[in-house]
Amino acid sequence: MPGIIDAAVEKYLYDILPVRDPVLSEMEEQAAKRNIPIVGPAVARVFYQYARLINAKRVFELGSAIGYSTIWWARAVGDGGEVFYTDGDKKNAAEARQYFQRTGVEDRIRVEVGDALELLSEQKQEFDIIFNDVDKEDYPRVLHLVCSRLRRGGLFITDNVLWSGRVAQEKPDLLTTRAIQEFNQRLYAMPEFFTTILPLRDGVSVSVKL
């Protein structure tokens, strides 16, 4: 995807990152080779950092693909923590399971296959973090589900909110772009949250529940 920031700065940000372990490195290679959407190591480190900052123990992922970010969340929550993996593709879930086993975090992850929004709607507990990375057309639908399932002081984090810069278009042609624009506008207007957007990779919004 086209970079949000200067290409040289983007390269620097990734070049300076510590080397990942063999399993994460393999997942990054597979994602690049097979065009699998993952957040990548720079954004994943932000996730890990925020989870540790608020001592998160319960994380719900809306859209998990092969489980790259799931592993980062699982490592952040530590022993006794729980991360909900959700994806509509059984093959993705099967591939993710073997990565979870190889990284030794399978006991912290609950794998659910199906519609991520429906799976979240069934939850009665509150989470410390809800991470949103579903199909972009569904982004606005996520907003009415989140507040009641996130604890006060918890974080609602969403990927791809700058959409390769297309959100800056005044009259976008793509439904996905319009959906993300609507999502961003509504999210910033919600009194339940204090929101910022980090212009890293494809844009990450971080909202703390007040």
Taking a C-beta distance cutoff of 8 angstroms, is the pair 84, 112 a contact? yes
Q: Is the pLDDT of residue 1 over 80?
A: no
Kindly list the strands in the beta sheet with 58-62, ordered across the sheet, starting from the edge strand earlier in the chain: 109-113, 82-87, 58-62, 127-132, 150-159, 204-209, 193-198
Report the C-alpha gap between 156 and 109 in whole angstroms: 19
pLDDT value, residue 3: 62
Report the C-alpha gap between 69 and 130 in whole angstroms: 12
CB count in 10 Å sphere of residue 26: 13
Report the C-alpha gap between 39 and 46 in whole angstroms: 10
Q: Is the pLDDT of residue 2 over 60?
A: no
Burial of 3 (C-beta count, 10 Å sphere; 0-12/13-18/19+)? middle
The string of pLDDT tens digits covering residues 36-78 is: 999 999 999 999 999 999 999 999 999 999 999 999 999 999 9
Q: pLDDT band at 117, cuts 50/70/90?
A: very high
Alpha-carbon radius of gyration of the chain? 16
pLDDT value, residue 61: 98
Report the C-alpha gap between 89 and 190 in whole angstroms: 32
Structural domains in the chain plus CATH codes: 7-209 (3.40.50.150)
pLDDT value, residue 144: 95
- CB burial string 104-137: b at 16+ within 10 A, e below: ebeebbebbbeebbebbeeeeeebbbbbbbbebe
Amino acid letter for position 115: D
Q: Is the pLDDT of residue 115 over 60?
A: yes
Tokens representing 76 are 């952040």
Average pLDDT over residues 187-191: 98
pLDDT value, residue 94: 98
The string of pLDDT tens digits covering residues 12-41 is: 999 999 999 999 999 999 999 999 999 999
Report the C-alpha gap between 183 and 54 in whole angstroms: 25
Q: Is the pTM of this model over 0.85?
A: yes
- Cα torsion 207, 24, 106, 104: sign: negative
